[in-house]
């Protein structure tokens, strides 16, 4: 009888042990999957960050943000790391923003996760801005929202003929965050206000001309540029800038093509030089040109609350430091999550990233 009991206990123990092993394996698998969303590698003289969700246009998750921030801080203190490169896997996107579906789900089920996501993303944006090592973003393909946040605050941003920049947040009931209140009002004239309120897309060399990118390089040369950067021996910031400038100078793609908004900039500066959305709408209506009416049509599709928040955000941000803007934007983000009108837009736009990517292949604005 004692032997049978012992056998039963041993059987239960072995079953318990197997279950634990399976659970541990599942945990390890989940960790591996999460880690695979972003690759963090030391190559040559550089730390290389690869956003690795090409099927989802390399959209950012909270796990990715945490991994990038932790590694950025390590590389910043590592004497063998002289520069940091960030790029996106695949050829379609650098990063199309935050994971909208995850945000939408978190809004309904996990408020703390939502708070953590915005807070930690903005902390990462600030860390990129203050990074002590040269930070180079290769913004090939779609670069929107959160993708702008992990690139535009870096010292160097390299666009290609396939780059697509936009801050489309007013279409999804939010506002152009990730430091948009800092860098957008600092673009030429009222260009940043126009981009923020309309979500207008800049493509190719226009991303450089507008001041979003610091350099422009042909896509077919981007791999060679990265190799040359990695091969540098204990480079200074000037050495890195020289390599980037060499590739930039060699690119002739669309070199003589005028900026897409060049003929409209005087009017844009006039239309958006006002303190209210209502006056901007009036300005567009009174102008009556086809371009003005096209922008009016776009603006009327946006969340009215988002438009008002965005205009005030940029006006306030024009005289603030980046840390001050990010604090302001965090408070705004949490307030937006509690706004019924914005929640409706946000819920209806859970697939906005994929919509934008499909539309971008067949239309131009």
Which residue, among 232, 227, 255, 256, has the nearest Cα to 242 in the 3D structure? 232
Nearest Cα residue to 240 out of 155, 144, 140: 155
Please list the active-site residues.
Answer: 98, 146, 169, 177
Name residue, tokens 């800049």.
Answer: 202
126 membership: H or E segment, kind and range: helix 111-129
Query: Roughly how many angstroms between the first and final C-alpha of the chain, as a whole number?
Result: 83
Q: CA 148: distance to chain centroid?
A: 3
β-partners of residue 88 are: 51
Range 280-284, long-range pairs (CB < 8 A, 24+ positions):
280/197, 280/311
CA torsion 197-330-321-98 (nearest 10°) is -60
| Residue 208 CB neighbours (<10 A) | 25
How far is CA 148 from each of CA 93, 165, 172, 263, 319, rounded to the nearest angstrom? 12, 8, 17, 26, 21
């Amino acid at each position: 009888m004692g032997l049978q009991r012992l056998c039963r206990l041993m059987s239960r123990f072995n079953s318990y042990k197997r279950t634990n092993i399976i659970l541990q394996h599942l945990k390890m698998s989940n960790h591996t999957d999460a880690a695979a969303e972003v690759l963090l590698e030391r190559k040559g003289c550089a730390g290389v960050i690869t956003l690795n969700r090409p099927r989802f246009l390399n959209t950012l998750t909270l796990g990715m943000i945490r991994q990038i921030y932790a590694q950025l801080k390590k590389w910043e203190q590592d004497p063998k790391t002289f520069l940091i490169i960030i790029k996106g896997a695949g050829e379609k996107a650098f990063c199309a923003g935050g994971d909208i579906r995850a945000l939408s789900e978190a809004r309904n089920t996990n408020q703390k996760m939502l708070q953590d996501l915005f807070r930690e993303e903005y902390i990462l944006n600030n860390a990129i801005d203050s990074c002590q090592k040269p930070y180079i973003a290769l913004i090939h393909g779609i670069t929107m929202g959160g993708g702008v946040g992990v690139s535009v605050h870096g010292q160097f941003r390299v666009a290609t003929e396939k780059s697509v920049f936009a801050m489309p947040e007013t279409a999804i009931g939010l506002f152009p965050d990730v430091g948009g209140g800092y860098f957008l009002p600092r673009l030429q004239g009222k260009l940043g206000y126009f981009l923020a309120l309309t979500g207008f897309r800049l493509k190719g060399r226009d991303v450089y001309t507008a001041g979003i990118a610091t350099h422009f390089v042909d896509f077919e040369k981007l791999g060679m540029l990265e190799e040359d950067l990695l091969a540098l021996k204990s480079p200074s910031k000037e050495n890195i800038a020289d390599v980037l400038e060499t590739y930039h100078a060699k690119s002739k793609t669309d070199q003589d093509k005028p900026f897409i908004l060049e003929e409209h900039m005087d009017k844009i500066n006039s239309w958006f030089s006002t303190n209210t959305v209502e006056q901007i709408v009036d300005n567009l209506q009174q102008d009556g040109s086809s371009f003005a009416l096209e922008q009016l049509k776009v603006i009327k599709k946006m969340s009215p609350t988002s438009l008002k928040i965005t205009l005030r955000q940029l006006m306030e941000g024009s005289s603030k430091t980046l840390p001050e803007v990010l604090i302001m934007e965090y408070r705004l983000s949490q307030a937006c999550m509690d706004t019924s009108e914005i929640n409706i837009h946000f819920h209806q736009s859970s697939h906005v990233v994929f919509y934008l990517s499909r539309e971008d292949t067949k239309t131009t604005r």
